[in-house]
Amino acid sequence: MSDRSSAAGTVLAITGAGQGIGRGLALAFARHGARAVVVTDLDGAAAQAVAAEVRALGAEAIALRVDVTRAPDCAAMAAAACDAFGRLDVAICNAGISQVRPLMELDGEDFDRMMAVNVKGAFLTLQAAARRMLEQPPLAPGRPRGKILTMASIAGRSGAGPIASVIAPYRASKAALISVTQSAAYTLAPHVTVNAMCPGLVATDMWARMDRDWTALQGVPAGQAWAQRVAAVPMGRPQQPDDVAGLALYLASPASDYMTGQSINIDGGLMMS
């Protein structure tokens, strides 16, 4: 990997890193030369386990239990990075939840919970990270002071097909997160870049739960919803956390320093624009 596309020496913090995409991101950055990773999750034990995996790959790591819906927790995450490693180069607002429930059965609490974690939580994480980044010197002469990545989804785009009828709050939260990302990018430029990643069908526990719940509603065997969705992917396979990590590594690198306010599909071709 060339210097321009490298995240070597990076200090980063990742929310929701105890499993799934977040864990994959933490390990990928460690493999690609990150100096340190602040691993956070609502499940403190899971965060500790991933931090141990990061250390085994040669990077420094600390683990924190963080509830992203609480501003003090998000501030503590950013402070921990700066106190332990002197700065916070990259923050990845990854923590999120999903739900499968028919549109006409939803109530206000379904939306409240989804928006609290997926939108408010990402915003509070972003805000806490940005406050620290704006106080620190640039990553290098002529570079930003820091980079923030949010975890949106192609679910926040138009369409989505039949599954749209059972994931309305999730889709709304991801569309809102894309909007928040754009507002933050405009506000923080040119000092901090902010971009959203929009994965598709990632083979994680979250999608396994979504398949279980959706197939139960349809009265079909478990796994069938997942198989049908994967069959529509032009690249011919489900997505892995490492596929998302490839984009994250690019966005964290000098090669993307002129990119901000973008929401980028990384989905094997499900959405083309």
In a domain, 207, yes or no: no
pLDDT digits (tens, 9 = 90+) for 147-203: 999 999 999 987 767 788 899 999 999 999 999 999 999 999 999 999 999 999 898
In a domain, 252, yes or no: yes
Domain that holds residue 182: 3-201+240-266
In a domain, 178, yes or no: yes
Q: How far apart are CA 269 and CA 273, in angstroms?
A: 9
In a domain, 245, yes or no: yes
The three-point CA angle 141-85-70 to 5° equals 105
In a domain, 28, yes or no: yes
Which segments of 107-232 are extended strands (E)? 146-151, 192-199
What local confidence, expressed as pLDDT, does residue 4 receive? Answer: 60
Q: How far apart are CA 113 and CA 272, in angstroms?
A: 30
Tens-level pLDDT at each residue, the chain (273 residues): 345 657 899 999 999 999 999 999 999 999 999 999 999 999 999 999 999 999 999 999 999 999 999 999 999 999 999 999 999 999 999 999 999 999 999 999 999 999 999 999 999 999 999 999 999 999 999 999 999 999 999 999 877 677 888 999 999 999 999 999 999 999 999 999 999 999 998 988 887 888 788 788 778 888 887 888 888 899 999 999 999 999 999 999 999 999 999 999 999 998 888
What local confidence, expressed as pLDDT, does residue 1 receive? Answer: 37
- Stated pTM of the model: 0.94
In a domain, 46, yes or no: yes
Residue 5 contacts by C-beta under 8 Å, 6 or more apart in sequence? 249, 250, 253, 254, 255
In a domain, 232, yes or no: no
What local confidence, expressed as pLDDT, does residue 62 receive? Answer: 98
CATH code (residue 186): 3.40.50.720
What local confidence, expressed as pLDDT, does residue 86 receive? Answer: 98
The residues annotated as belonging to the active site are 170
What local confidence, expressed as pLDDT, does residue 2 receive? Answer: 45
Tell me the CB-side half-sphere exposure of residue 255, using CA atoms within 13 A. Answer: 15
Q: How far apart are CA 149 and CA 100, in angstroms?
A: 26
In a domain, 175, yes or no: yes
* Tally of domains in the chain: 1
